[in-house]
Chain A
């Protein structure tokens, strides 16, 4: 007999192995070597979380009790998969284009980004999934107990509760570590998916291994097994036709609506083409998992004592014949099926809870809105992590208090029926434009209530107040309301009764509610988008008149999707609009795109609300809707070529407008500069002339000039001449740089040293305002090939600018350097002053442009222009980075010098 400790050891090392695989896959994905990590086979295997411990252990028990009926649970998904062209293809396309994060997000987004619906579906999912998670914990605990029982001498009987607690804690850890690595739910969880694919293989071979052992080891080959099946009590019961039909449809529905299935089917789908393979490969997997279930049940009933639990035949059969390796494999298979389900379910539920419950509450608790408050990312991540722990804690508590004595199949079916209540709203949402929010809410509420009343609560029995008296006579003696014979429908199987009533009333309420209500404009837009997803994948244009400031949007986006991602997005958009820098025009199209990006992180409803706080014009009116419709009709008449041309024209026009604005500003500034430069030249000239006249007259006149005055006057002349020279030097330097005639002194150096030099140089000679420098010296140690003197000149200029212009009482300069993937380096200089107003951001790098007329500025407005020319000559770029709190300049340089142009 297998020592129990070794089993625990095997189990722990298997768990450790899973951690290692997940970690390895994450690392690989980080390096961009995805390869087969995103192959259709991995996708197919990840779907196998449909087969939980309920399949692994429960299917045999189910077959032992009801014969062939167990196959309905796998036939439903098989039909959905084989008929993927009907529903799945559409779901996946919608999920990808609308950046759907969960099944609650799908429903909420379809019905006008409704928060109510999001909450409703989330609650339904949590209530429906908790028993299911408890079921997984129970099955793992039970399987440990089977080994403990078979082996009483070695160790005290394992405590079911303790085992379940340890498993739950381990799973919470794994899910938090690998399931919340990135905020954007549309990014794949490579680690999790790879680990799950591995678990899929283990459980497949676990079950098939036992099956082969049963057919060829215990039995005598195929024909003998068929004879045994024919004679067995397993196949000698009537198949209940209504149950057979109902369960097939129910399992198909649950396959689409279970949060964990939606997660792997739609959210984690990397490519639509993977459905081609999954359409036959996943049914094949299910087929393999089911094929040996009946033989195992038949043989188990045959050879094992009557008292043994049929749910555990998969373990007890190999143990009876002392097949230790097989028993261990089978145990690991069961462990795999339980853990993979719990992991994905926890990820899916935590996304739903944090996006649809925590975020809306958090948002409404902040009056200032999303722009002012701190880092939203950390809030979302924290709430996801807490939700994961919460979901697992709920599952454990359910297991703890329900005592876990029920047959596995019963809990599974209750869960399926509960979550299948989403189906009418889901199918109605993607196939019928007439479905409305009111209808969806009514349907869900009624379906949920009927399910709870006829199925969920009765499963608790007396504890929930559903006594036998209530079941036989109805509440207050009203016969019509008997939970398992609603409206006098008697003699029906309780499961069929609950499924049919809940789904029928749900669908009825959905249809009637939709027919009677009038949808809001956003609902109609989203409805058209979802139903006609294959016809136009363009935007819905639910933003009519954007009044948002691009800079505010950038600040918010940085806090949700991360600074560099947001900057890249804004930069790309500005580029597409033909603008320079990081601030595109907040056009409706851009707002739409931004909202979709944000939705990938926090869900459609929250993203819409956050953007609404900034953009103001949250609601589209019916007039706008009509305008959009008109526009669409007109667009049909245009050929795509014309469209492209007009787009090009618009881009050119925008460019021209921008250039024109810039020219006008520059011309004004140039005028101002000319008068100033003449002034600047004239002042020293005047004093030089005046003092040299004094000297000339003094030496020629009668009075001898005292040596003191002589020195003073000639000193003044000298200083003024130097000032003139410096000004002329700057001008010359600039013109040399601009003409590209400058000879650069390329050498290898350390970026850190260059920054040091610049800081030392600026410390002296300037008025003594204390400037606090924040820098991360470690990250600055980057070897770079450049002209160190010139680069230092740029840095000196930027630091000096901070000293001169930062108006904060306690000025702080933050220098951050990083190396980019394309072998560029990026250095940001950010201060905590008031920054530069948006209208000036485009001209600061131009010659002679000065923002202030403060006397202490003392320069001619050439500093930044020289900086830009130097960086240009070094092959890089310098730009103003808006939305950082103060003025911020970003220098982007190639790390290695390449002969250019």
Chain B
């Protein structure tokens, strides 16, 4: 991949996008983890509710879960497209290859 130590310092627009998508993919589990632990701060001895108890905790955990899945799916989709573009430009030596559109369409259906 493009991660070798000798890759250029400044990248073209498409490669730059791809890098940021990877950043997002890497950060996502960390945000998920923090949000998921949030119910531990609710309730407790000073309040009437038990820690993280009640339907509130249930709804929260499962909403965060679903949200992370949706975002992860979107990132994966975009990354896959970027990867195909990159492969194509590497194969044909032309960065804007139009034939990739049907390939990414393929993956679009694969996603569903």
Residues of A near any B CB (own CB < 8 A): 39-41, 67-68, 71, 75, 78-80, 82-86, 226-227, 229-230, 235-239, 241, 244-245, 248, 273, 276-277, 279-281, 283-284, 287, 290-291, 294, 534-535, 636
Docked-complex contact A229 and B58, CB < 8 angstroms: yes
For residue B45, give the distance in angstroms from its CB to the closest CB of chain A.
9
- On whether the beta carbons of B26 and A85 are closer than 8 Å, the reply is yes
Residue of A nearest to B44 (CB): A238
Q: How many Å from the CB of A179 to the closest CB on chain B?
A: 28
Taking a contact as CB atoms under 8 Å apart, the answer to whether A83 and B50 are in contact is: no
Contact in complex: A276, B79 (CB < 8 Å)? yes
CA distance A580 to B93 in the complex (A): 35
Complex Cα–Cα for A79 and B37 (A)? 13
A-B contact pairs, 14 of them (CB 8 A): A75-B61, A75-B65, A79-B32, A229-B55, A235-B54, A238-B43, A238-B50, A238-B53, A239-B50, A276-B79, A277-B110, A283-B65, A294-B58, A535-B4
Contact (Cβ within 8 A) A239 B40: yes
B33 touches A79 (CB 8 A): yes
For A239, give its contact among B39, B65, B110 (CB under 8 Å).
B39
Q: Which of B50-83 contact A (CB under 8 A)?
A: 50-59, 61-62, 65-66, 68-70, 72-73, 76-77, 79-80, 83
Question: For residue B59, which residue of chain A has the nearest CB?
Answer: A226
CB distance B57 to A235 under 8 Å? yes
Contact A280 B69 (CB under 8 A): yes
Shortest CB distance B75–A (Å) = 8
- The residue in chain B whose Cβ has the minimal distance to the Cβ of A79 is B29
Contact A86–B26 (Cβ < 8 Å): yes
Interface centre among B51, B61, B65 (most CB of A within 10 A): B65
Residues of A within 8 A of B69 (CB): 78, 82, 280, 283-284, 287
Q: A78-B68, A79-B33, A534-B3 are in contact. Are A273 and B80 (CB under 8 A)?
A: yes
Closest to B3 in A: A534
Q: What residues of B have a CB within 8 angstroms of the CB of A71 in the complex?
A: 61
Out of B1, B29, B33, B83, name the residue touching A534 (CB < 8 Å): B1
Which residues of chain B from 16 to 41 have a CB within 8 Å of any chain A CB? 22, 25-26, 28-30, 32-33, 36-37, 39-40
Contact pick for B110, options A40, A68, A83, CB 8 Å: A40
Which residue of B5, B32, B58, B76 is within 8 Å of A276 (Cβ)? B76
Query: Given contacts A283-B68, A534-B3, could you give 6 more A-B pairs where the C-beta distance is less than 8 Å?
Result: A68-B61, A78-B65, A83-B28, A238-B53, A244-B37, A277-B111
Bound together, the chains give a CA A283 to CA B62 distance in angstroms of 12
Does the CB pair B51–A280 fall under 8 Å?
A: no
Neighbouring A residues of B44 by C-beta, 8 Å: 238
Q: Are A239 and B52 in contact (CB under 8 A)?
A: yes
Query: CA–CA, A68 to B49, complex, Å?
Result: 14
Beta-carbon contact of A287 and B76 below 8 Å: no
Residue in chain B with minimal CB distance to A84: B25
| A226-B55, A235-B54, A239-B52 known; A82+B5 contact, CB < 8 A | no
Q: Is the CB of B76 within 8 A of A279?
A: yes
Shortest Cβ-Cβ A-B pairs, 5 listed: A83-B29, A280-B73, A239-B52, A230-B55, A280-B72
Contact with A along B82-112 (1 / 0, CB 8 A): 0100000000000000000000000000110
Of A239, A276, A281, A636, which is within 8 A of B80 by CB? A276
Asked whether, in the complex, the Cβ of B58 is within 8 Å of the Cβ of A237, the reply is no
| A82, A245, A279, most chain B CB atoms within 10 A | A82
Q: How far is the CB of B20 from chain A (nearest CB, A)?
A: 13
Output the least CB separation between B31 and chain A (Å): 10
Chain A residues whose C-beta falls within 8 Å of the C-beta of B37 in the assembled complex: 244-245
How many Å from the CB of B80 to the closest CB on chain A?
A: 5
Q: Which residues of B contact A239 (CB under 8 A)?
A: 39-40, 50-53, 57
Are A279 and B72 CB-contacts (below 8 A) given A235-B53, A287-B66? yes
A84 to B26, CA, bound (A): 8
- By CB atoms of chain B within 10 A, which of A239, A244, A534, A636 has the most? A239
* Shortest distance between the CB of B29 and any CB in chain A (Å): 3
Cα–Cα, bound, A80→B72 (Å): 12
The docked-state distance in angstroms from the alpha carbon of A523 to that of B11 is 36
Interface size on B, residues (CB 8 A): 45
Which residue, of B44, B57, B69, has the highest number of chain A Cβ atoms within 10 A? B69
Bound complex: CA A897 to CA B106 (Å): 41
- CA separation between A585 and B99, bound complex, in Å? 43
Q: Which residues of B contact A279 (CB under 8 A)?
A: 25, 72, 76
Asked, given contacts A83-B26, A280-B72, whether A68 binds B52 with beta carbons under 8 Å apart, the answer is yes
- By beta carbon, the residue of chain A nearest B51 is A238
Q: Which residues of B contact A287 (CB under 8 A)?
A: 62, 65-66, 69
Contact of A535 among B5, B30, B70 (CB under 8 A): B5
Q: How far is the CB of A607 from chain B (nearest CB, A)?
A: 28
Q: How far is the CA of A40 from the CA of B77 in the complex (A)?
A: 13
**Interchain CA distance A165-B8 in the complex, whole Å:** 62
B74 to chain A, nearest CB (A): 8
Q: Contact: A244 with B40, CB < 8 Å?
A: yes
State the CA gap A75–B43 with chains docked (Å).
22
Collect the chain A residues with CB atoms within 8 Å of residue B22's CB. Answer: 85
A39 touches B110 (CB 8 A): yes
Please name all residues of chain A whose beta carbon is closer than 8 Å to the beta carbon of B76 when the two chains form the complex: 276-277, 279-280
Of all chain B residues, the one with the shortest Cβ separation from A275 is: B76
Partner of B3, one of A284, A290, A535: A535
Closest to A239 in B: B52
Are B4's CB and A534's CB within 8 A?
Answer: yes
Output the least CB separation between A87 and chain B (Å).
10
Q: A284 contacts which chain B residues (CB < 8 A)? A: 69, 73
- Are B68 and A82 within 8 A (Cβ)? yes
A236 & B52 in contact (Cβ 8 Å cutoff): no
> Nearest-CB distance from A55 to chain B (Å)?
15
B38 CB, nearest partner CB in chain A, Å: 11
Q: How far is the CA of A291 from the CA of B62 in the complex (A)?
A: 7
A765–B41 Cα gap in the complex (Å)?
100
Residue of A nearest to B80 (CB): A276
Q: Which residue of A lies closest to B79 (CB)?
A: A276
- The 8 Å CB contact of B25, one of A85, A226, A277, A534, is A85
A242 CB to nearest B CB, Å: 10
Max count, chain A CB within 10 A of own CB: residue among B1, B43, B55? B55
Q: Which of B4, B29, B32 has the most CB of A within 10 A?
A: B29
With A280-B72, A280-B73, A534-B3 already in contact, the answer to whether A82 and B29 are too (CB < 8 A) is yes
Q: Report how far A280 CA is from B74 CA in the complex, Å.
A: 9
| Chain B nearest CB, measured from A237 CB (Å) | 6
Give the contacting residue for B40; candidates A241, A276, A294; CB below 8 A.
A241
Q: How far is the CA of A281 from the CA of B110 in the complex (A)?
A: 11
- A284–B73 Cα gap in the complex (Å)? 10
Q: A273-B80, A277-B111, A287-B65 are in contact. Are A230 and B54 (CB under 8 A)?
A: yes
**Contact partners of A41 in chain B: CB under 8 A:** 110
Q: Are B36 and A75 in contact (CB under 8 A)?
A: yes
CB pair A82–B53 under 8 Å, yes or no, is: no
Please tell me which one of the listed residues B28, B55, B58 contacts residue A82 in the complex, with CB atoms under 8 A apart.
B28
**Contact present for B39 and A283 (CB under 8 Å):** no
For the complex, what is the distance from the CA of A229 to the CA of B62, rounded to whole Å? 14
Kindly state the separation between the CA atoms of A672 and B51 in the bound complex, as whole angstroms. Answer: 99
Complex-state Cα separation, A535 to B3, whole angstroms? 7
What separation, in Å, do the CA atoms of A245 and B36 have in the docked complex?
10
Known A-B contacts A244-B40, A277-B76; the reply to A235 vs B55 at CB < 8 A is yes
In the complex, which residue of chain B has the Cβ closest to the Cβ of A40? B110
Give CA–CA (A75, B66) in the complex, Å.
11
Closest to A282 in B: B69
Selected contact of A68 from candidates B5, B57, B72, B79, CB within 8 Å: B57
**Would you call A235 and B58 a contact (CB within 8 A)?**
yes
Q: Determine which residue in A236, A241, A276, A535 has the highest number of CB atoms from chain B within 10 A of its CB, and name it.
A: A276
